[in-house]
Amino acid sequence: MGVFQGFVHPLLLWGIALCSIPLLIHLLNRRRHKPLPWAAMKFVLAAYKRTRRRVQLENLLLLLLRMAAVAALALAVARPFIGRDSPLAPLTERRRDLVLLLDASASTGYRENAASVFEEMLERARTLLSELDGTRGDRVHLLQCSQATRALSTHTPDDALAALATLTAPRDERLDLALALAEVVDLAEEDAGSTGHSALEVRLLTDLQRNTFLPAPADGAATADASAGDPRLPLRQALDRLGELGVQVVVEDLGPGVPQPPNLGIESVAPLGEVLGAAQASEIAVDVRNFGASGRAGLRVALTIDGVRQPSQKVDVPARAGVQVVFPVVFSEPGFHALVAELESDRLARDDTRAAVVHVPAPLRVLLVNGAPNDELERDEIGFLRAALEPPDDGGLVSSPVRSYSPFVATSVAANAFGGPEADPAAFDVVVVANVAALPAEIVARLESWVARGGALLLTLGDRCADPSALDSLNTRLWRADESGLAPARFVRHVAVASRRGSYFRAATFDATHPALAFFGDERWQAFLTEMPVFEFVACEPLSSARVLARLDDGEKSPLLLERAYDRGRVLLWTSSIDQDWNLFPQFPATFIPLWHELLRYAGTGTLPLRNTPVGGTLELETATFPRRAALVRPDGTRKDLDGEPQQVAEGLWRLPALGALDEAGLWRVESEAPQPIVLACQLEPAEGDLAHLAPEELESSHATWRFRAPGSDEGPDDEPQADRGELWRWFAGATLALLVLETLWAAWIGRGRRLA
Partner 1 sequence: MEPAAARSPSSLDPAVLDRLGGLALVARTVVEGFMAGHHRSPQRGSSVEFAQHRQYVPGDELRRLDWKIFARSDRLVVKEFVAETNFSCHLLVDASESMGFGSLSWSKLQYARWCAAALAHLVIRQRDAAGLVLFDQSVRDKVPPRTGAQQEIEMIHALEQAQPSGATGVGHVLSWVAGRLRRRGIVAVFSDFFAEEEEIVAGMRRLLYGGHEPILFQVLDPQELEFDYTGLLRLEGLEGLGRLLVDPKAIRAAYREELAAHQERLARAARALSCDYVPLVTSAPLDVALSTYLAHRAARARARG
User: Which residues of the chain form contacts with partner 1 (CB under 8 A)?
Assistant: 29-30, 32-48, 50-51, 55, 58, 751, 754-755, 757
Q: Of 21 and 44, which has the nearer Cβ to partner 1?
A: 44
In 680-728, which ranges are continuous DSSP H helix?
A: 696-702
**Closer residue to partner 1, CB minimum distance, 51 or 113:** 51
> Could you tell me the smallest distance in angstroms from the CB atom of residue 61 to partner 1?
14
Q: Which is nearer to partner 1, 498 or 756 (CB)?
A: 756
Q: How far is the CB of 30 from partner 1 (least distance, A)?
A: 7
Cβ distance to partner 1 smaller for residue 47 or 281: 47
Contacts of 99 (CB under 8 A, 6+ apart): 140, 141, 143, 184, 187, 188, 200, 201, 202, 203
Smaller CB distance to partner 1: residue 14 or 43? 43
What angle, rounded to 10 degrees, do the helices at 177-192 and 232-244 form? 20
Q: What are phi and psi of 268, to 5 degrees?
A: -160, 145
* Shortest CB 33 distance to partner 1, Å: 4
CB of 64 to partner 1, least distance (A): 18
Residue 4 C-beta: closest distance to partner 1, Å: 39
Residue 45 or 496: which CB sits closer to partner 1? 45
40/114 with CB nearer partner 1: 40
**Residue 494 DSSP class:** E
Specify the 3-state DSSP secondary structure of 140: strand
Cβ atoms 728, 61 nearer than 8 A: no
Query: Cβ distance 661 to 616 under 8 Å?
Result: yes
Distance CA 420, CA 462 (A): 23
From the CB of 56, what's the least distance to partner 1, in Å? 10
> Residue 605, SS3?
helix
β partners of residue 670: 632, 678
DSSP state of 85: T
By beta-carbon proximity to partner 1, the closer residue of 481 and 757 is: 757
In whole angstroms, give the CA distance from residue 116 to residue 254: 10
Single out the residue of 135, 97, 104 nearest to residue 119, CA to CA.
104
Closest approach of Cβ 42 to partner 1, in Å?
A: 6
Q: Cα–Cα distances in Å, from 8 out to 2, 155, 188, 213, 558?
A: 15, 18, 12, 32, 73
Judged by beta carbon, residue 114 or residue 756, the one nearer partner 1 is: 756
CA atoms within 13 A on the CB side of 153: 24
Asked if 570 and 576 count as a contact pair (C-beta separation under 8 A), the reply is: no
CA distance 275 to 279: 10
305's CB contacts (< 8 A; 6+ apart) are: 284, 329, 331, 337, 338, 339
Whether 322 and 250 have beta carbons less than 8 Å apart is answered as: no
Of the pair 50, 500, the CB lying nearest partner 1 is at 50
Nearer to partner 1, 29 or 513 (CB): 29
- Choose among 187, 126, 191, 189: nearest CA to 161: 126
Q: Would you say 44 or 297 has its CB closer to partner 1? A: 44
Q: Toward partner 1, which CB reaches closer, 29 or 404?
A: 29
Single out the residue of 392, 377, 438, 352 nearest to residue 579, CA to CA.
377
At residue 481, what is the residue type? Answer: A
> Which residues neighbour 722 within 8 Å (Cβ) at sequence distance 6 or greater?
84, 94, 96
Q: Which residues pair with 73 in a beta bridge?
A: none
| Residue 63 Cβ vs partner 1, minimum distance, rounded to whole Å | 14
Shortest reach from residue 89's CB to partner 1, in Å: 45
* Closest distance to partner 1 from the beta carbon of 46 (Å): 5
Beta carbon nearer to partner 1, 51 or 345? 51
Give the nearer residue to partner 1 in terms of CB position, either 31 or 629: 31
Rounded CA gap, 130 and 144, in Å?
A: 18
In angstroms, give the least distance from the CB of 78 to partner 1.
Answer: 35
R_g (Cα) of the chain, nearest Å: 40
Cβ of residue 44: shortest distance to partner 1, in angstroms?
6
Helix, strand or coil for residue 400? coil
Instruction: Provide, rounded to whole angstroms, the least separation between the CB of residue 153 and partner 1.
Output: 58
Q: In degrees rounded to 5, what are phi and psi of residue 450? A: -70, -45
Each residue of 75-103: b (16+ CB within 10 Å) or e? bbbbbbbbeeebeeeeebebbbbbbbbbb
The 8-class DSSP code of residue 195 comes to S
Q: Collapse the DSSP code of 362 into the 3-class scheme (helix H, G, I; strand E, B; otherwise coil) and give the result.
A: coil
Would you say 34 or 501 has its CB closer to partner 1? 34
The distance of closest approach from Cβ of residue 50 to partner 1 in the complex, given in angstroms and rounded to an integer, is 5
Task: Name the residue type at position 362.
Answer: A
Q: How near is the Cβ of 756 to partner 1 at its closest, in Å?
A: 8
Residue 598: count other Cβ atoms within 10 Å of its Cβ. 17
* Spatial contact of 550 and 509, defined as CB atoms under 8 Å apart: yes
Task: For residue 604, give the nearest of 374, 407, 378, 355 by alpha carbon.
Answer: 407
Rounded least distance, CB 34 to partner 1, Å? 6
